[in-house]
């Protein structure tokens, strides 16, 4: 079985942007790359065959959701997520911590991206302590505890190529004292995650239901640069993992978010691939690639498609096809786009599908947005390889 490797191929002269290859037992990932979220082991309204035909390289699924339904043991009986969902490429699972704590705080996902807090979300997190997180299932109200050891065991059952250490994702509205307390606890959880990963529970050490796996560590510290510095030190000097992810609250607005990512990534070097958790705005990706980020994940491209929004080049970033101005528009979303949707259907037809609440509309926009994101990453890679990154970014944003 092919082993895991990471190599940088090309760098730009005037930024940290780089192309590379992450090799896994299930195939190669050309970076920078975008990871699409099949949260509950499904790309909503879209098959893995369609995803592959639209140049998708890697898919993410969620530990928290899958441990509750259908259960990681059932997925392990299939030979892991790859066989369960019919995907023959690389996969990643998160540790489950983000979902637990976002459900507990009711606002983490929004605060990380600077959005308005949703106060009507039912909170299911019961308690956080050194052992782990005690929470109620959103499905049936049953009580569960997710610890570092449990998270790793579930992720070994799920069998993704890359798995994450268990951590707490603190929201923006907690103070520095709690952010520090949480970060240090997450560091201790990281050590326990690594020990569990290297121990023989059911599988061989470092193996899951689908074969060998590798770990990503997670940098925390919220908006506080001294805490980020401390977490960087811990994750780069005190532990050794295949990759490293930037997590936690990144600020209350885009400027603060970019500042924190820039500060953090500037101290991580090139020894390991760097992943940015939960960020997927196409225009932001250009900036973060320039900071040396190699991979991204976010539910946004497929989620906004289900709500009628198509991704487009330029500073506006997306258009809402439910807008009546598209009712009689005979143009495609993008005349230059080579996706199946743009080559075959008009804005007027897409407007009609959403007006008539036809499920095909969700599929066609998901098709476009997935193709769009993969094409974006390809254009970024080509611009780096051709040492034309800044001009390509300018052209993209001014399209």
> Is 161 an annotated catalytic residue?
no
Domain spans of the chain, in order of start: 34-298, 311-393
pTM of the model: 0.93
> Is 94 an annotated catalytic residue?
yes
Read off the pLDDT of residues 20-41 as tens digits, 9 standing for 90 and up: 999 999 999 999 999 999 999 9
**Nearby residues of 22 by Cβ (< 8 Å), 6 or more positions away:** 4, 5, 6, 28, 29, 31, 33, 90, 273, 294, 295
Predicted local confidence at residue 122, as pLDDT: 57
Predicted local confidence at residue 113, as pLDDT: 43
Predicted local confidence at residue 296, as pLDDT: 98
Q: What is the mean pLDDT of residues 313-342?
A: 97
Predicted local confidence at residue 116, as pLDDT: 46
Predicted local confidence at residue 124, as pLDDT: 73
Instruction: Reply yes or no on whether the pLDDT at 311 is more than 70.
Output: yes
**Nearby residues of 330 by Cβ (< 8 Å), 6 or more positions away:** 346, 347, 348
Read off the pLDDT of residues 152-164 as tens digits, 9 standing for 90 and up: 999 999 999 999 9
CATH number for domain 34-298, candidates 3.40.50.720, 3.40.50.10490, 1.10.3720.10, 3.20.20.105 = 3.20.20.105
Out of 167, 284, 294, 297, the active site residue is 297
Read off the pLDDT of residues 117-132 as tens digits, 9 standing for 90 and up: 444 545 677 788 999 9
Read off the pLDDT of residues 269-308 as tens digits, 9 standing for 90 and up: 999 999 999 999 999 999 999 999 999 999 999 999 999 9
Out of 3, 94, 167, 291, the active site residue is 94
SS (H, E, C) the chain: CCCCEEEEEEECCCCCCEEEEEEECCEEEEECEEEEECCCCCECCECHHHHHHCCCCEEEEEHHHHHHCCCHHHHHHCCCHHHHHCCCCCEEEECCHHHHHHHHHCCHHHHHCCCCCCCCCCCCEEEECCCCEEEECCCCCCEEEECHHHHHHHHHHHCCCEEECCCCCCCCCCCHHHHHHHHHHHHHHHHHHHHHHCCCCCCCCCEECCEECEEEEEECCCCCHHHHHHHHHHHHHHCCCCEEEECCCCCCCHHHHHHHHHHHHCCCCCCCCEEECCCCCHHHHHHHHHCCCCEEEECHHHHHHHCCEEECCCCCCEEECCCHHHCCCCCCCCCCCCCHHHHHCCHHHHHHHHHCCCHHHHHHHHHHHHHHHHHHHHHHHHHHHCCCHHHHHHHHHCC
């Amino acid at each position: 079985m092919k082993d895991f490797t990471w190599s940088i191929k090309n760098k730009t002269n005037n930024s940290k942007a780089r192309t590379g290859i992450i090799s896994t037992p299930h195939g190669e990932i050309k970076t920078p790359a975008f990871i699409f979220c099949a949260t509950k082991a499904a790309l909503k309204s879209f098959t893995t065959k369609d995803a592959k035909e639209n140049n998708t390289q890697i898919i993410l699924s969620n530990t928290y959701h899958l441990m509750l339904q259908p259960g990681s043991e059932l997925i392990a009986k299939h030979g892991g997520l790859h066989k369960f969902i019919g995907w023959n490429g690389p996969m990643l699972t998160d540790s489950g911590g983000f979902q637990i704590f976002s459900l507990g705080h009711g606002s983490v996902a929004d605060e990380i991206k600077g959005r308005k807090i949703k106060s009507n979300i039912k909170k299911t997190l019961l308690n956080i302590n050194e052992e782990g997180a005690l929470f109620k299932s959103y499905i049936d109200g049953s009580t569960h505890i997710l610890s570092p050891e449990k998270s790793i065991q579930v992720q070994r059952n799920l069998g993704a190529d890359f798995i994450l250490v268990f951590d707490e994702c603190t929201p923006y509205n907690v103070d520095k004292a709690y952010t520090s307390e949480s970060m240090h606890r997450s560091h201790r959880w990281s050590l326990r995650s690594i020990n569990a990963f290297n121990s023989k529970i059911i599988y061989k050490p470092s193996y899951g239901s689908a074969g060998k796996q590798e770990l990503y560590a997670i940098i925390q510290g919220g908006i506080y640069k001294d805490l980020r510095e401390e977490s960087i030190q811990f994750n780069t000097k005190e532990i050794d993992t295949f990759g490293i992810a930037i997590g936690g609250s990144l600020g209350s607005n885009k400027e603060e978010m970019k500042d924190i990512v820039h500060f953090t990534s500037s101290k991580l070097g090139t020894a390991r691939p760097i992943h940015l958790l939960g960020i997927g705005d196409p225009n932001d990706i250009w900036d973060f690639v320039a900071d040396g980020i190699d991979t991204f994940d976010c539910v946004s491209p497929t989620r906004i498609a289900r709500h009628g929004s198509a991704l487009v080049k330029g500073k506006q970033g997306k258009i809402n096809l439910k807008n009546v101005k598209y009712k009689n528009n005979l143009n495609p979303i993008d005349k230059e786009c080579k996706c199946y949707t743009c080559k075959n259907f008009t804005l007027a037809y897409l407007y009609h599908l959403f007006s008539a609440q036809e499920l095909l509309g969700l599929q066609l926009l998901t098709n476009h947005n997935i193709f769009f994101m993969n094409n974006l990453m390809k254009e970024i890679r080509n611009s780096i390889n051709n040492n034309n990154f800044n001009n390509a970014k300018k052209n993209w944003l001014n399209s």
